[in-house]
Amino acid sequence: MSQALANPGSPTQASVAQADSVSELLHHLHDVRQARSEDSVRLLQQLTPHLHAARAVERELDRHLDRRFNVFRYLRDDELGLSRIVADLLDPTGEHGQGTIFLEAMLELLGVAPEAGDSVRFGRDVSGGRTATATWSERFARLRSTAGDKIRVVLERGGLPGRRRIDITVDIPTGDRMFCLAFENKPRADDQPGQCSDYLKFLDRLYSGRFLLVYLPPRYRMPDKSSLLPADREHWKNEFRVLPYVADDAPPGDDDPSDGDDAPLAQVDSGRDDAIAEDDDTDHNVPAAQDDAAADGASLADWFGTCCKLSDAERLRWFLREAQLYCQHHFGDSTMTDTEARYIREYLDQNPRHLHAAFAVARAWPSVKHDVCRRFLEHLRDRVEERVREEFPEMAGDLDVGCHFGGDKRYSNYLRVYRSGWVRCDGVSESRSDGRTAVMLECGSGGPTSWHWGVRSGKSKGDMTETEKDRREEVEGALKRNGLSLPDAHHWPHIERPRHQDWTAIVPELVQELGDGGGKITDHYVDGLVGIAEKAIPAISEVELENTNPSGSRDS
């Protein structure tokens, strides 16, 4: 043994030396991590006064310029209200008075040339390469010469099986044939089984391939596979486009039913960034982009911005800027003001040593955000339960109040109230309400960013039995008598949108209210949910409790 220790080349000494090297490396890595952790803390400490200064500047600008005021907060911003705005702008005879320029901007954004032959109407040859077709101005020359009243814009177009309606259609004369630009607007609602497939088949019967169906989700995603059947995706790839309200670079995930298999159907490219449209020093007679569009990145917000640049009317430009801001702030990830973001960029430019810390902060943010949103949802549950039990003391033993936070997984964040004596739908495995009708607060497909509330059925209307459909109609009638009369075609006999829909944008305010035990946001949600419950619980009980026998089944 002593001979082995004396020999520097022995395996034992080599192992000791290797262990020392590993120990030194571990100590070094620990020191690096410790230094970066301290640097992250210093970054936050140093940035905080800069952000306070930025917010002071914002408040002063707001006082003089009303920069955060947005008229869309006061307009009808449900699916039909937003469709009406888009349809009016696309209509050459609309009160905007700008003729066909907004329609041209939409066609250019989508890369559609209605006057071109079938093989090149998207500005590309059949092999996918760029074509030598005329410029966009030449392509639209005939469109501009067409009498405006011959271009027909229709809202809620009917005539489809199952009483379905296409949100917007634009019929464009092209010689002896008609081209149809159609829109399925999905800012918040779920897809219906077979919906997009049925629309595509309907349009093909009427227009023999000369049409384009544009799908408008809040962020880029494909329709559910149940809506656009897998077998139809490849078949309709030239007649279907996705145009989100705001651009989204996220890869396919839970919200993309394609699950990353095969190439997704086309999303269009604006060729521009997401900057808010400006009217200073802008030539409103020149389109913002002249190149073809056929890759990722375009959005409805881009179209509003382009329309703003093209408009000759100042009042209209103001409205279009508001529309673009609404899309970016309501459906996008814009949680900081431009001034705050500029302060941070300038600080990091001047202090590049903090870039590692900034990256660490960015990586930590999603878990911080989710923790705060989860705790706030639980805080609301406790407050709502307390209030509802005070309001209905006779039902205390029958009320079930619960919540669940699932992060960014679609439809996984909710707060619900129901009576265990209400009728349970057959064949429902979900845990949200155990198949029962419930007063519910629920987010959509983008995590805690698109909340809605109202009365939710235990099963989608399309999946109900005839008996369940009859019962839902009775529930809708009872709700209407109690002042709740906004049903949809899916799960909701009554649905509304609260304020503060994007919790990720107000995490600091949520933290403050958690510390204080409440505040304006808490009051808004608690008062709103309890207000719905006060009207809904008696109405639902009238149908689903009082007309049931002890076993829970309907009396004949």
Does position 362 have pLDDT exceeding 90, yes or no? no
Q: Which pLDDT score, from 0 to 100, does residue 160 have?
A: 85
pLDDT of residue 95: 86
Q: Average pLDDT over the chain, rounded to whole?
A: 76
* Selection from 145, 149, 148, 143 nearest residue 179 by Cα: 143
Most confident stretch, 159-168, 303-312, 344-353: 303-312
**Span 26-47, pLDDT tens digits:** 555 555 555 555 555 566 566 6
Res. 556: pLDDT tops 70? no
413 neighbors 448 (Cβ within 8 angstroms): yes
Calculate mean pLDDT across residues 290-314.
74
Q: Hey, which of 42-51, 53-62, 97-106 has the most confident mean pLDDT?
A: 97-106
Residue 260: what pLDDT? 36
Mean pLDDT over 229-252 rounds to 78
Give the tokens for residue 176: 């002896």
> Distance between CA 380 and CA 475 in Å, rounded?
26
CA quadruple 312, 315, 317, 319: dihedral sign: negative
User: Read out DSSP for 15-52?
Assistant: HHHHHHHHHHHHHHHHHHHHHHHHHHHHHHHHHHHHHH
How do residues 409-424 score in pLDDT, each as one tens digit? 888 999 999 999 999 9
Contacts of 31 (CB under 8 A, 6+ apart): none
Give the SS3 label for residue 362.
Answer: helix
- Asked if 407 and 397 count as a contact pair (C-beta separation under 8 A), the reply is no
* Number of neighbouring beta carbons within 10 Å of residue 27: 10
Higher-confidence residue: 186 or 505?
A: 186
Mean pLDDT for 154-177 is: 87
| Best mean pLDDT range from 49-53, 251-255, 497-501 | 497-501
Q: Is the pLDDT of residue 227 over 50?
A: yes
Mean pLDDT, to the nearest integer, of 517-538?
95
CB 158 within 8 A of CB 165: yes
Task: Return the pLDDT at 416.
Answer: 95
Give the count of alpha carbons within 13 A of 246, CB side only.
20
- Give Cα 176 to chain centroid, integer Å: 40
Write the CB contacts of 400 (distance below 8 Å, at least 6 apart in sequence): 416, 417, 418, 419, 420
- Cβ-proximal residues to 303 (8 Å cutoff; 6+ apart), any chain: 105, 106, 109, 243
**Sequence-ordered list of residues with C-beta below 8 angstroms from that of 206, at least 6 positions apart, any chain:** 180
The CA R_g of the chain, rounded to the nearest whole Å, is 28
Residue 148 contacts residue 100 (beta carbons within 8 Å)? yes
Cα dihedral: 536, 537, 542, 546 (round 10): 160
Least confident among 193-202, 205-214, 399-408, 441-450: 441-450
CA atoms within 13 A on the CB side of 485: 6
**What percent of the chain stands above pLDDT 90?**
34
Q: Cβ distance 533 to 381 under 8 Å?
A: no
With a CB cutoff of 8 Å and minimum separation 6, the contacts of 326 are: 70, 72, 77
Q: Pick the residue with more confidence: 135 or 89?
A: 89
Using pLDDT thresholds of 50, 70 and 90, give the confidence band for residue 500: confident
Average pLDDT, stretch 289-298? Answer: 43
Q: Which residues pair with 152 in a beta bridge?
A: 171
Residue of 392, 438, 431 whose CA lies nearest to 416: 438
The pLDDT-based confidence of 189 (bands split at 50, 70, 90) is confident
Q: Whole-angstrom Cα distance, residue 91 to residue 406?
A: 42
What is the reported pLDDT for 349?
Answer: 85
Q: What's the rounded Cα separation, in Å, for the pair 405 and 46?
A: 33
Ranking 190-199, 256-265, 366-375 by mean pLDDT, the lowest is 256-265
pLDDT above 60: residue 119: no
Choose between 277 and 217: higher pLDDT: 217
Across the range 319-326, mean pLDDT stands at 87
* Residue 505 CB neighbours (<10 A): 18
| Distance in angstroms (rounded) separating the CA atoms of residues 547 and 556 | 9
Q: Could you tell me which residue, 102 or 462, shows the higher pLDDT?
A: 102
| More confident site: 156 or 52 | 156
Q: Does the pLDDT at position 127 exceed 90? A: no
| Tokens encoding 39 | 């640097």
Is pLDDT at 314 greater than 70 in this prediction?
yes
- Residue 170 confidence (pLDDT): 94
Residue with tokens 């999905």: 186
Res. 113 pLDDT band, cuts 50 70 90? confident
The most confident of the ranges 111-125, 369-383, 477-491 is 369-383
Mean pLDDT of 259-263: 38
pLDDT at position 269 is: 47
Residue 7 has pLDDT above 80, yes or no: no
pLDDT tens digit sequence for 344-355: 778 788 888 777
Comparing 286 with 431, the larger pLDDT belongs to 431
Spatial CB neighbours of 55, under 8 Å, sequence gap ≥ 6: 337, 339, 340
For residue 214, the SS3 value is: strand
Residues 6+ apart with CB under 8 A from 393: none
- Contact of 257 with 223, CB cutoff 8 Å: yes
3-state secondary structure at position 169: strand
Question: 0.75 exceeded by the pTM?
Answer: no
User: Lowest mean pLDDT: which of 172-176, 257-261, 437-441, 460-464?
Assistant: 257-261
With H, G, I as helix, E, B as strand and everything else as coil, classify residue 479. helix
Find the mean pLDDT for residues 376-388: 96
234 has a pLDDT exceeding 50: yes
Q: What is the DSSP letter of 167?
A: E
Q: Is the pLDDT of residue 281 over 90?
A: no
Q: Where are the beta strands (DSSP E) in 45-106?
A: none
